[in-house]
């Protein structure tokens, strides 16, 4: 199965009620697959007139308590930032998939990881965060789509799957373990308390992000901060591999992590003390895990398909306790295993 199709199937399995999208390479399999599947299932599919319209259709569907998603690739995700900011202000859950391509500008259509800053630092205006999941296999495209909807509902927040053109286009066997709803812990959020569906037998409701009354916005921002703190405390997801005795730890996410892990496995066979960390949630970032690793190892290498974005978060977590080296590949292109191995040999 292709990564983009697995994403669709995961979302459908999670009970996605509505999909709204706009064509852009390399994510075109998503709207194409959804246009058939959602209609056959009697659910909602609309090819919107723009990414702006698509994210705002998501906003509408989410406001009436439905599970809604959109997908796009880097330039289209830039257009969605306005809507993402409103979704955060209104605290509306949804899934946004970014099948990244090279940038800036129109860039190219090869897989890239250069939207890390945009995804994790709040690409739109205002003080906000969204949960960002970075899959590195086709199976994870399926699993994370399910997880994303659960986390979105649990915290009333947009969740982004930050994938890339390689994982999206890649074809490999998928292991589907379970379907439908995932258990992600209890939540105070009950859609029946806030969704808009007409004020029958209850007082009218409003969902808005305009808070003009004195101190109202500040209070709302502090409320969001409380939520973000809870997410940072409870929702960090991270894979670690042979870090216990590692003198060098390689940190990567997404498709680069797949290649880095393979490089690390090879070098371990040569008895080189090397380990590997893969942040799965890019926000919340696994600060503590990386900080602990920095305390034990002599050096850290960050490899990512950009000019150096996640490396800044790693440096913040490491706090100069050990040197942080960087291997980057901008311009939409994938590392070979040998490139990573030679960099490791060079800095060992």
Partner 1 sequence: MNKIYCRTESLTEKRFSYCSGCGHGIIHRLIAEVVDELKIRERTIGIAPVGCAVFAYDNWNFDVTEAPHGRPPAVATGIKRCLPDRVVFTYQGDGDLAAIGTAEIIHAANRGENLTVFFVNNANYGMTGGQMAPTTVIGQVTTTTPFGRDAKREGYPLKVCELLSSIEGVCYLERVSVSNPKNILKAKRAIKKAFENQVEGKGFSLVEVLSQCPTDWGKTPEESIKWIDDVLVKTFPLGIYKECTKK
The span from the CA of 242 to the CA of 38, in Å, is: 42
- Closer to partner 1 by CB, 44 or 109: give it: 44
The span from the CA of 80 to the CA of 78, in Å, is: 5
Indicate the Cα dihedral angle 94, 3, 75, 36, nearest 10°: -70
Output the CA–CA distances (angstroms, integers) from residue 260 to 7, 35, 335, in the order listed.
23, 36, 9
Output the CA–CA distances (angstroms, integers) from residue 113 to 103, 148, 155, 169, in the order listed.
9, 19, 26, 15
One of 62, 162, 174, 280 touching partner 1 (CB under 8 A): 62
Tell whether residue 35 is a contact of partner 1 (CB under 8 A). no
Residues sharing a CB contact under 8 Å with residue 57, sequence separation 6 or more, in sequence order? 18, 20, 46, 48, 68, 70
Residues 146 to 185: which contact partner 1 by CB under 8 A? none
Choices 59-67, 132-140, 145-153, 176-184; region in contact with partner 1 by CB under 8 A = 59-67
Choices 50-58, 155-163, 319-327, 330-338; region in contact with partner 1 by CB under 8 A = 50-58
Tell whether residue 1 is a contact of partner 1 (CB under 8 A). no
The single-letter DSSP state of residue 324 is: E
Give me the count of residues in the chain: 348
One of 27, 56, 98, 112 touching partner 1 (CB under 8 A): 56
Query: CB of 50: closest distance to partner 1 in angstroms?
Result: 6
One of 180, 186, 198, 320 touching partner 1 (CB under 8 A): 198
Tell whether residue 199 is a contact of partner 1 (CB under 8 A). yes
The span from the CA of 62 to the CA of 152, in Å, is: 10
- Estimate to the nearest angstrom the gap between the alpha carbon of 175 and the chain centroid: 21
Tell whether residue 53 is a contact of partner 1 (CB under 8 A). yes
Tell whether residue 348 is a contact of partner 1 (CB under 8 A). no
Residues sharing a CB contact under 8 Å with residue 324, sequence separation 6 or more, in sequence order? 299, 300, 301, 302, 311, 314, 315, 318
Tell whether residue 82 is a contact of partner 1 (CB under 8 A). yes
Tell whether residue 16 is a contact of partner 1 (CB under 8 A). no
Tell whether residue 79 is a contact of partner 1 (CB under 8 A). no
Tell whether residue 208 is a contact of partner 1 (CB under 8 A). yes
- Estimate to the nearest angstrom the gap between the alpha carbon of 22 and the chain centroid: 19
Binding mask 113-152 for partner 1 (x = CB under 8 A): ----------------------------------------
Tell whether residue 41 is a contact of partner 1 (CB under 8 A). no
Residues sharing a CB contact under 8 Å with residue 326, sequence separation 6 or more, in sequence order? 301, 302, 303, 308, 311
Tell whether residue 210 is a contact of partner 1 (CB under 8 A). yes
The single-letter DSSP state of residue 5 is: H
Residues 312 to 331: which contact partner 1 by CB under 8 A? none
Query: CB of 81: closest distance to partner 1 in angstroms?
Result: 11
- Mapping DSSP onto H, E and C, the string for 79-115 reads HHHHHHHHHHHHCCCEEEEEEEECCCCCCCCCECCCC
- Residues contacting partner 1: total by CB under 8 A: 39
Tell whether residue 80 is a contact of partner 1 (CB under 8 A). no
- Closer to partner 1 by CB, 56 or 157: give it: 56
Query: CB of 88: closest distance to partner 1 in angstroms?
Result: 12
One of 200, 215, 270, 320 touching partner 1 (CB under 8 A): 200
- Closer to partner 1 by CB, 59 or 282: give it: 59
One of 35, 209, 242, 262 touching partner 1 (CB under 8 A): 209
The span from the CA of 96 to the CA of 87, in Å, is: 11
The span from the CA of 75 to the CA of 237, in Å, is: 27
Residue numbers at the binding site for partner 1 (CB under 8 A): 17-18, 20, 44, 46, 48-50, 52-54, 56-64, 66, 68, 82-83, 86, 90, 196-201, 204-210
């Amino acid at each position: 199965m292709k990564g983009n199709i697995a994403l669709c199937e995961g979302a459908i399995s999670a009970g996605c009620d509505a999909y709204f999208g706009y064509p852009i390479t390399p994510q075109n399999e998503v709207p194409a697959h959804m246009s058939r599947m959602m209609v056959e299932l009697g659910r909602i599919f609309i090819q919107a007139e723009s990414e702006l319209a698509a994210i705002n259709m998501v906003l509408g569907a989410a406001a009436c308590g439905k599970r809604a998603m959109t997908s796009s690739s880097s330039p289209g995700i830039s257009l969605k930032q306005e809507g993402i900011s409103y979704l955060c202000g209104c605290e509306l859950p949804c899934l946004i998939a970014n099948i990244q391509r090279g940038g800036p500008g129109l860039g190219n259509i090869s897989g890239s990881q250069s939207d890390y800053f945009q995804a994790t630092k709040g690409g739109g205006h205002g003080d906000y965060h969204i949960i960002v999941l970075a899959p590195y296999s086709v199976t994870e495209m399926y699993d994370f789509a399910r997880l994303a909807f659960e986390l979105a509902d649990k915290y009333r927040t947009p969740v982004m799957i930050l994938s890339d053109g390689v994982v999206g286009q890649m074809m490999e066997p998928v292991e589907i373990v379970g379907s439908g709803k995932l258990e992600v812990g209890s939540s105070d959020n009950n859609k029946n308390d806030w969704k808009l569906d007409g004020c029958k037998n209850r007082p009218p409701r409003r969902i808005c992000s305009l808070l003009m009354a004195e101190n109202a916005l500040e209070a709302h921002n502090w409320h969001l901060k409380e939520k973000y703190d809870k997410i940072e405390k409870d929702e960090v997801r991270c894979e670690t591999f042979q870090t216990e005795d590692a003198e060098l730890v390689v940190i990567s996410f997404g498709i680069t992590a797949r290649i880095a892990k393979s490089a690390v496995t090879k070098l371990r066979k040569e008895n080189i003390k090397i380990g590997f960390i893969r942040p799965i949630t890019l926000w919340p970032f696994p600060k503590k895990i990386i900080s602990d690793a920095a305390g034990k190892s002599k050096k850290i290498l960050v490899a990512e398909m950009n000019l150096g974005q996640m490396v800044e978060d790693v440096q913040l977590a490491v706090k100069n306790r050990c040197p942080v080296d960087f291997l980057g590949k901008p311009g939409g292109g994938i590392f070979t295993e040998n490139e990573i191995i030679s960099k490791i040999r060079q800095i060992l």
